[in-house]
Amino acid sequence: MTGATASADNAYIDGIYYNLSTTKKTAEVTAKSKSKYSGDIKIPSSITYNQVEYVVNSIGSKAFYKCTGLKSVVLPNTIETIRESAFEGCSSLATITIPNSVTSIDKGAFSGCSGLTSVTIPNSVTSIGNYAFWNCRNLKSITFNDSLEFIGIYAFSNCTSLTSIIFPNSVKHIADNAFSGCI
């Protein structure tokens, strides 16, 4: 593949950094120290490195941390987990498509993404971690689907533009302060 470099279990392919699991043949989107993604990004469902195909199955912790120039992200249907603080502080992020393959959105995953105005949580997501969408001040609507069971502490706290929420019957636990500061 053009534009590919790697060292140990890390690869840089077409402008995106990955941690590779050679035993599982999976790749996790990550960031290199002081790297900043910007603009519109489309994550591929798989990458090829050294003639080996890897399925891209997660967005790593702090992969897009404080990438203030990031505007939109399209995730493939192979992503299962959006890890801790993956998109934290991406203040210009206006659009993200969370595919049906995602089962968990970890702590602080979208915290401080003040550009987000709406989020649809797909049926596959069963858990939204603590602080997941904390301080997304322009978030106006959230659509929860039928598989959601757990909403962590401060998950949507300080989403001051939020106007209405409909919870599915599947929700078993809404942690303390999950919606505090939502006027």
Residue 113: the pLDDT is 96
Residue 7: the pLDDT is 45
Residue 79: the pLDDT is 97
Residue 166: the pLDDT is 82
3-state secondary structure the chain: CCCEEEECCEEEECCEEEEEECCCCEEEEECCCCCCCCEEEECCCEEEECCEEEEEEEECCCCCCCCCCEEEEECCCCCCEECCCCCCCCCCCCEEECCCCCCEECCCCCCCCCCCCEEEECCCCCEECCCCCCCCCCCCEEEECCCCCEECCCCCCCCCCCCEEECCCCCCEECCCCCCCCC
User: What pTM, to 2 d.p., does this model score?
Assistant: 0.90
Residue 1: the pLDDT is 45
Residue 112: the pLDDT is 96
Residue ranges of the chain whose pLDDT lies below 50: 1-2, 5-7
Domain boundaries, the chain: 59-174
What would be the CATH architecture of the domain defined by 59-174? Answer: Alpha-Beta Horseshoe (3.80)
